[in-house]
Structures are given as C-alpha cells and as structure tokens.
Structure 1
Amino acid sequence: MKKKWFIALLLVIGGVVGTGASLITAEVTHSTAGAEFCGSCHSMEPMAKTYELDVHGGQNDHGFVAQCVDCHLPQDSVFGYMLDKTKHGINDVFVENFTNTDNIDWIARRDERERFVFDSGCLNCHQKLLDKNDANNPKSLQTHAHYKAQLEQGDVCHVT
C-alpha cells in the first residue's frame, strides 16, 4: 500500500514540477520574443529602424505588431522553434561579445535574408495568402505572385 502512495505522490510532484517548468519556459520564451528584448543587445539598429516603419512593425490599419520570433523562427513545431531559438540565442551572444559588429555590412547581409526568415512564420499569420484572389488588394497579389511561383516549383527556402 505504501508503494502505491509513494508512486502517486511522485506522479503528483512530477506533474507540479513539470507544469511549473513549462509555465516558466513559456513566460521566458514570450518575454524574449520581441524587438525590445532582441534590440537591447543585438546589433540590428538598421533593421530595427526599418521594422518600426514597416507594416509588420505596427504601421498598418489594425495596429498589429509582429514579434521578431514570428518571422525569424520556424513556426511548424515547438521543438523546431525552441531548437532554433536556442541556436540563434547562443550565436547572437557569441557574435555580440566576440565580434566587432561595427564591421558588419548589413546591406550586403540582406542577400542572406532567406536564411533568417521562415515561410512557416509568414504562413502562420497569413494562412490564406497563397490562395487569395483578392481584387481589392492587387498590390498583395503582385507582391506574392513571384513567391507563389517559386513555391510551386519548390525553389523557396525554409518552406515548412
């Protein structure tokens, strides 16, 4: 009988500890997701200024503001999200502390932007983007026509 109570107690304690750890992880993940946190030590001033003026930075009719992680981390699975968040975090801390970030050519790095933006992030918010035939928004159709053609040919990076 004592063995059953001991196992039940272990399960309850494990459940409480697991739930607590999950909640703490979720809170830390959420609080480190936005431009305020990322920009606090990340050498990304040119991108931060551009972001503030962009539709994703809040310059839209709805007041919506995307978080950095909405675009810059894969949104297809929690495991992939957390793995990439960890990898990018370690890399960013290393670069910020051991690299002269003043020597980074941010304009040239724009050619590598597909390595840093995930389609699953775009499609997480814009699920119907590729199926739209919106005559009221021809700019959107024009902007994404090239992307849709690449996707159909399998030429797009980071598709999930």
Structure 2
Amino acid sequence: MNRKWFIVILLAIGGLLGTGASLVTAEIAHSTGDAAFCGSCHSMEPMANTFKLDVHGGNNNHGFVAQCVDCHLPQDSVFAYMLDKTKHGINDILVENFTNTEEIDWIARREERERFVFDSGCLNCHQALLDRKEAENPKSLQTHAHYKNQLASGDPIQCVSCHVTVGHNGMLRSELNKRYPEYSFESK
C-alpha cells in the first residue's frame, strides 16, 4: 500500500474514533445533568424535589424543563462547561462518598448562590429581558436596567442576587429544614 492511502485511511479511522468519542461524551454529559440524576445522591434530594415544583423544573404550561446544568454550569463555552462539569462531578463523587453530608450546613450554603448559579445559563433563555427590541414586557426592561448598567460598569451583580429562590420554587429552605432543622425545640 502506498503512503498516500495509508495516511487517508489513518485520517478516516481517526475521524471516526474522534466522532465516536465526541458522541459518547455528549451523551454522558447530557444524561448526567438532569434532576433525576442529580437528585439520586441523598444530599441533593431536597434540591431536586423543590426544583420539580418550580417553573424551570417543568411546573409550567409550556412543557419546558431546564436541566440542573443549565443553571449550575457556565454556558458561555463548551470548554468551560466541560471543565466545570468534570470538576463538579469529581467533587460531588468525593463529597458524597467520603464526607458526612449530614454535617454540611445546606441552609447557609444557599447564601453562596452566586458561586453556584451562572448568569450565562439565565441569559440563554432570558436575553430578551435586556434587549429593547425583543422585550415582550417593557416593564421588564425597567426592572432589569440596573443589571445591564452593572454589566457595563464592570461591577456586575448576578441574576440570583435578586432572584434568590429561582429554580427551587421558594421552597428550598423549608425542604432543607425537614432534613436539617435549623432550630431544635427539644429540651436539654
């Protein structure tokens, strides 16, 4: 066989293997990003339960259901998405298996929501809230003008800075309290 055909066959095999690996990776990434998968860990059950009650979790008239990763992973680039998904996946496995998750103060962690929710996910669906030409509701332009101004100033606030209960139907604290009570009324 001459050298040209060898290179062509090698490139074809490499292309098929690369495409196959990409498809498998995409399928794994997709199937490990929804509430069913994320809620399968005992410590994530309250988050998954309240998500299902929220508009973003399917409690709407449109049939729309966001994936957990739509909000909790950056959506601005495939590289950032896959890097964060890998880091969070490894961390979640380690924490779930080698940490006593009963000792994590999940209620206090809610105050760190800016660390765990990415505006790029919000803006994938809600970009029209900032765009005068596309806004269905002019009032939304007024209420979100401060966000747009903060972006321009270089000192941005995040969507979840104002929308503190988004994604969990405002019931997350109550659901967490069932498992991890903030207060104990038992006498000592």
TM-score, structure 1 normalization = 0.86
SS at match of 2:61: coil
Aligned amino acid, residue 14 of structure 1: G
For 2:152 and 2:114, locate their aligned partners in 1 and report how far apart those are by CA, in whole Å.
17
> Does the Cα contact within 8 Å between 2:38 and 2:48 map onto a contact in 1?
no
SS at match of 1:126: helix
> Displacement of 1:103 after TM fit?
1.5
Q: Which residue of 2 aligns with 1:29?
A: 29
For 1:148 and 1:57, locate their aligned partners in 2 and report how far apart those are by CA, in whole Å.
27
For 1:157 and 1:40, locate their aligned partners in 2 and report how far apart those are by CA, in whole Å.
29
Q: Which residue of 1 aligns with 2:73?
A: 73
For 2:73 and 2:16, locate their aligned partners in 1 and report how far apart those are by CA, in whole Å.
29
Aligned amino acid, residue 101 of structure 2: T
Structure 2 unpaired stretches of 5+: 160-188
Q: Which residue of 2 aligns with 1:39?
A: 39
> Displacement of 1:18 after TM fit?
0.8
Structure 1 unpaired stretches of 5+: none
- Once the two structures are superposed, residues 63-103 of structure 1 have per-residue CA deviations (whole angstroms, 9 ceiling, x without a partner) of 20100010011111110000000000011011101111112
For 1:126 and 1:90, locate their aligned partners in 2 and report how far apart those are by CA, in whole Å.
30
Aligned amino acid, residue 55 of structure 2: V
SS at match of 1:28: helix
Distance 1:41-1:142 versus aligned 2 partners, 3 A rule: farther
SS at match of 2:39: helix
> Displacement of 1:149 after TM fit?
4.7
Q: Which residue of 1 aligns with 2:137?
A: 134
Q: Which residue of 2 aligns with 1:91?
A: 91
Q: Does 1:119 align with 2:127?
A: no
Aligned amino acid, residue 5 of structure 1: W
- Once the two structures are superposed, residues 36-83 of structure 1 have per-residue CA deviations (whole angstroms, 9 ceiling, x without a partner) of 111112512222222111110111221201000100111111100000
Q: Which residue of 1 aligns with 2:101?
A: 101
Aligned amino acid, residue 112 of structure 2: E
> Does the Cα contact within 8 Å between 2:36 and 2:48 map onto a contact in 1?
no
What is the number of equivalent residue pairs in this alignment?
A: 155
* Segment drifting more, 126-135 vs 77-86: 126-135
Higher relative contact order structure (alpha carbons within 8 Å, sequence separation ≥ 6): 2
> Displacement of 1:152 after TM fit?
4.0
Q: CA RMSD in A?
A: 2.2
> Displacement of 1:148 after TM fit?
4.0
* Percent identical: 75
Q: Which residue of 2 aligns with 1:7?
A: 7
> Displacement of 1:123 after TM fit?
0.7
